[in-house]
Homo-oligomer: A and B are copies of this chain.
Amino acid sequence: MSKYWSKITRNVEPYVCGEQPKDKKYVKLNTNESPYAPSPKVLNAIRNAADGDIRLYPDPSCDKLRETISSYYGLNKSQVFVGNGSDEVLAMSFLTFFDKDEAIVFPDISYSFYPVYANLYGIKCRLAALNEDFSIPVEEFLKPNGGIVIPNPNAPTGKCLETERIKEILKNNGDKVVIIDEAYVDFGGNSVIGLIKDYPNLLVVRTLSKSRSLAGLRVGFALGQEELIDGLNRIKDSFNSYTVNRVSNAAAIAALEDEDYFKKCVEKIINTRESTVKKLRKLGFKVVPSKSNFIFITHPLYAARELFMKLREKGVLVRYFDKDRIDNYMRVSIGSDEDMDIFIEKIREIIGKGV
């Protein structure tokens, strides 16, 4: 604590992101990055952006990128907001749509940045306890609230909520903004972008970090009816006029334009996920059915914390959350087939089942 800190600074509980290790080379299955390089067209776009125009500010309204996104999803440009990663988009969404006095609702087991944002802005929260099978307790989102945030698929569980149930939540909360965080939806989930035209209270948040391999460039976006997007722009223009830089703009456009490459990467990750799940089940793991690029696993005989630490020693990084109800689970990002072979091999070594 410092006497120079504001009350807010004293009270925040900062997010702790997955380790980005510098000490040695790991098989890195801890932050849900893609195991595949971005499309060669993306790398070309980055190289082509390396010219004298770097001296000029980027387009503050990111028109070309927003046009690309909107035509990709069959929306209008005015229904798209872009930001410096979906974390920034979410942070701004909390400030744009939620007031301090009414508690917003999100699942108790979920992206751990949500309570951090709420805390930053002094917004009250109510945690909706996931059902025993980690499914979303829809009824908890039908009670009075100040707004809703649901990741679909959820993280770190990887479970999806059916579109019909999301509709129910949207209908029952007509005056409140419902944020559906679709960071992982490209890996087999059910997107609700098609509902935007019917629900003025729906905001869908997406990222190019996972399925488009752009984590290193930080591009996220939000989709919703124009009045929601206008609100986001008011907040963004009160914070930073130019949040997405020239290189990220160009790379994001190229990523969205290379549909073949995107589909191939996603397909490979899904296949790897399914084969990894089979191998883990054979080793006695319980695996939550996943529609994302990670799996959430537990073993009846081996403590997750110990597995996590032993894997780390053996050069494999996964994510462990020391949190009630999930402290015997590990979240494992889906890497390449080679990455997952090493992961399975190390798991076998640890639990003594030889190769």
Chain A interface residues (CB < 8 Å from chain B) = 2-9, 12-17, 20, 22, 28, 31, 33-38, 42-44, 46-47, 49-60, 63, 84-85, 87-88, 91, 95-99, 116-117, 119-120, 175-177, 200-201, 209, 213-218, 227-228, 230-231, 233-235, 237-243, 245-248, 251
Contact = CB atoms under 8 A, between A and B. Distances in A.
Contacts of A99: 6-7
A15 B112 CA distance: 31
A22 B59 contact: yes
Copies of this protein in the complex: 2
B4 A241 contact: no
B20 A238 contact: no
Contacts of A95: 6, 8-9
Residue of A34, A213, A231 ringed by the most chain B CB atoms within 10 A: A231
A14 B234 contact: yes
Given A13-B238, A235-B12, A53 B120 contact: no
Given A46-B50, A47-B47, A53-B216, 17 more contacts: A4-B200, A6-B98, A7-B99, A13-B238, A15-B237, A15-B241, A16-B237, A22-B63, A33-B57, A43-B50, A46-B49, A54-B214, A57-B209, A85-B240, A88-B239, A117-B238, A217-B247
Contact of A240 (B43, B59, B84, B233): B84
A111 to B, nearest CB: 12
A245 B231 contact: no
The secondary-structure label for the interface of chain A is loop
A271 B309 CA distance: 61
B55 A240 contact: no
A246 B5 contact: no
A348 B36 CA distance: 58
5 contacts: A2-B228, A8-B95, A9-B235, A55-B215, A84-B240
Nearest to A2: B227
Nearest to A37: B52
Contact of A5 (B16, B34, B56, B97): B97
B37 A5 contact: no
A240 B36 CA distance: 24
B54 A243 contact: no
A168 to B, nearest CB: 19
A165 B282 CA distance: 73
Contacts of A49: 46
A2 B176 CA distance: 11
A3 B267 CA distance: 41
A14 B238 contact: yes
A165 to B, nearest CB: 22
B5 A96 contact: yes
A251 B54 contact: yes
A281 B332 CA distance: 68
Contacts of A7: 99
A87 B49 CA distance: 23
Nearest to A246: B216
Given A55-B36, A214-B55, A2 B242 contact: no
A239 B116 CA distance: 8
Contact of A248 (B47, B55, B120, B245): B245
Contacts of A51: 37, 43
A225 to B, nearest CB: 9
A44 B84 CA distance: 23
B84 A55 contact: no
